[in-house]
């Protein structure tokens, strides 16, 4: 049986107090001592803390920590308030995503904080070149930082800078132990090196250095891709925002992202999408603690529902034609207007919304207009429910158009569907997957909508 040759990981403690301008390579070799020597193919591991100190990335005045985090952050990814204060996960200008921009006060002189190196890959390349000059050996360099991980407790070291090594070992296309082709296995070997080095660099020891022997196959001829290549591009990131931030953004955009969609793909709308939209609709505010909304779902994929839909639309078209002709509209105009209702014939799903006055509306003596006011009040609540419905449809990735036609022929609709007089149609909602993206909404100024 073939056995792996094994990997040796050595930690190198040093009592050196690192300051700006220090020669890291000289300090490393001093810590190595005359009794040990590096070999061709070794991988040098150095904590970012000492690299940053040598690069003068030290800030005095702990009060500056929040400002320092802001200065290092390109964007805030997540914020969590807890008993010990606030944890902020940020994306740094360098593209790393980590807590407090990687700034911390551990293993630093009291009253000071240490930032991350400006460009850890550049630092790794410079260190590698210097090692090569001094030792004449082909070595790899990894700069590490200790990071927490989403989903898992505990911290491990990760590579934030690298030079001279493969950082991602792409096994895609290679066979597994059962000779099946690996589909998308990319091993983050630089992170594994960083984590392995941490095993011999306990946090309570002054051990900023390690070297690893036995991984020479990971060395590259040139500087290699650097640890920046490990960072997942934001557009491919399924988790580019914290949970609370995603919820807040979703809630904020749910309303404004809804647009009227009039062209649909052919696919049917799953029942669950409509159920969730109705669930949202029936949380709308309504007078007298009533729940006066009713819905009729007509899917094109269901023969019975499809027949009901077409027969109803035919009956509505007849009423509409009669009304338009009575208004004296020319024949072409009548035909054109009626054709506008075609969206309700072709949409994969149509939901008719109703408001039932019998479900809680009060009646008053027929003096003044109180009964009509009461009806208006229920209609307003009907509108609120339909808007909730549309927002839910849109937030589930589907498109909808609220079409008024049933509002203009309530008797025809009631008669055709056998509904009582108390049912007021609130329009028909055409639903489906959008075939095109809606045009950009014209911006509206709040002040134009305020009554002075
Ligand atoms: C009560 C009501 C009835 C509507 N009726 C129709 C309609 O019959 N046909 C239509 O194409 N759009 C109809 N709409 C959709 C509006 O045209 C649409 O909301 C408006 O153009 C604004 O576009 P937006 O929804 O993308 O913001 C209706 C909207 C409401 C609120």
Q: Where are the domains of the chain?
A: 8-236, 258-449
Q: What is the pLDDT of residue 4?
A: 65
The answer to whether domain 8-236 has CATH 3.40.50.150 is: no
Give residue-wise pLDDT tens across range 145-194.
999 998 999 999 999 999 999 999 988 888 888 888 888 889 999 999 99
**Residue whose CA is at the smallest distance from ligand 1 atom 29:** 402
Residue 440 has pLDDT above 90, yes or no: no
Q: How confident is the model at residue 84 (pLDDT cuts 50, 70, 90)?
A: confident
Residues 43 and 159: their CA atoms lie apart, in Å, by: 12
> How far is the C-alpha of 299 from the C-alpha of 79, rounded, in Å?
44
What does the DSSP assignment read for 330-374?
A: -HHHHHHHHHGGGHHHHSSEEEEEEEETTTT-----SSTTHHHHH
pLDDT of residue 2: 54
CATH classification for the domain delimited by 258-449, as one of 3.40.640.10, 3.40.109.10, 3.20.20.150, 3.55.40.20:
3.40.109.10
Whether 67 has a pLDDT exceeding 90, the answer reads no
Give yes or no for residue 29 having a pLDDT over 70: yes
Nearest CA to ligand 1 atom 21: 260
Residue 219 phi, psi dihedral angles, 5° rounding: -75, 145
* Of the listed ranges 271-285, 321-335, 343-357, 415-429, the one predicted with least confidence: 321-335
Which atom of ligand 1 lies at the shortest distance from residue 438's CA?
26
Work out the average pLDDT over 190-217. 94
Q: What is the pLDDT of residue 409?
A: 95
Cα(401) to ligand 1 centroid in Å equals 7
Find the 314 Cα to ligand 1 centroid distance in Å: 21
**pLDDT score recorded for residue 200:** 95
The string of pLDDT tens digits covering residues 276-302 is: 999 999 999 999 999 999 999 999 999
Q: Which residue's CA is the nearest one to ligand 1's atom 19?
A: 260
Closest listed residue to residue 87, CA positions, set 142, 144, 143, 155: 155
């Amino acid at each position: 049986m073939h056995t792996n040759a094994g990997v040796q990981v050595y930690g190198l403690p040093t009592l050196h107090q690192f300051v700006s301008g220090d020669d890291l390579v000289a300090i490393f070799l001093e810590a190595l001592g005359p009794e040990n020597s590096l070999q061709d193919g070794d991988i040098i591991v150095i904590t970012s803390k000492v690299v940053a100190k040598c690069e003068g990335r030290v800030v005095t005045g702990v009060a500056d920590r929040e400002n320092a985090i802001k200065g290092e952050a390109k964007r805030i990814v997540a914020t969590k308030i807890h008993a010990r204060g606030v944890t902020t996960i940020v994306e740094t200008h360098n593209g790393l995503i980590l807590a407090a921009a990687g700034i911390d006060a551990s293993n630093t002189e009291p009253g000071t904080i240490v930032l991350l190196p400006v460009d850890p890959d550049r630092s790794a390349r410079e260190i590698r070149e210097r090692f090569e000059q001094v030792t004449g050996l082909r070595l790899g360099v990894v700069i590490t930082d200790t990071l927490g991980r989403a989903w898992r407790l505990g911290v491990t070291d990760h590579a934030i800078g690298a030079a001279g090594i493969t950082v991602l070992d792409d096994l895609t296309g290679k066979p597994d132990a059962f000779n099946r082709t690996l589909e998308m296995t990319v091993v983050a070997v630089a992170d594994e090196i960083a984590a392995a080095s941490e095993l011999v660099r306990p946090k309570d020891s002054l051990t900023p250095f390690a070297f690893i022997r036995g991984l020479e196959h990971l060395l590259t001829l040139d500087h290699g891709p650097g640890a920046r290549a490990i960072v997942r591009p934001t557009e491919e990131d399924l988790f580019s925002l914290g949970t609370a931030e995603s919820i807040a953004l979703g809630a904020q955009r749910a309303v404004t992202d809804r647009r009227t969609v009039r062209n649909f793909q052919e696919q049917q709308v799953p029942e669950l999408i409509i159920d969730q939209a109705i669930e949202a609709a029936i949380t709308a505010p309504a007078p007298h603690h009533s729940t006066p909304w009713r819905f009729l779902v007509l899917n094109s994929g269901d023969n019975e529902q499809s027949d009901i839909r077409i027969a109803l639309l035919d009956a509505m078209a007849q009423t509409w034609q009669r009304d338009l002709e009575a208004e004296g509209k020319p024949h072409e105009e009548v035909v054109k207007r009626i054709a506008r209702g075609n969206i309700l014939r072709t949409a994969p799903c149509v939901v008719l919304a109703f408001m039932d006055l019998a479900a809680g509306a009060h009646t008053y003596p027929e003096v003044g207009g109180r009964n009509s006011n009461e009806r208006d009040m229920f209609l307003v609540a009907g509108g609120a429910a339909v808007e909730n419905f549309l927002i839910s449809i849109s937030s589930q990735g589907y498109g909808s158009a609220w079409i008024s036609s049933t509002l203009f022929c309530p008797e025809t609709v009631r008669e055709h569907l056998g509904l009582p007089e108390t049912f007021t149609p609130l329009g028909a909602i055409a639903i489906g997957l959008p075939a095109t993206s809606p045009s950009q909404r014209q911006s509206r100024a709040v002040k134009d909508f305020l009554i002075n």
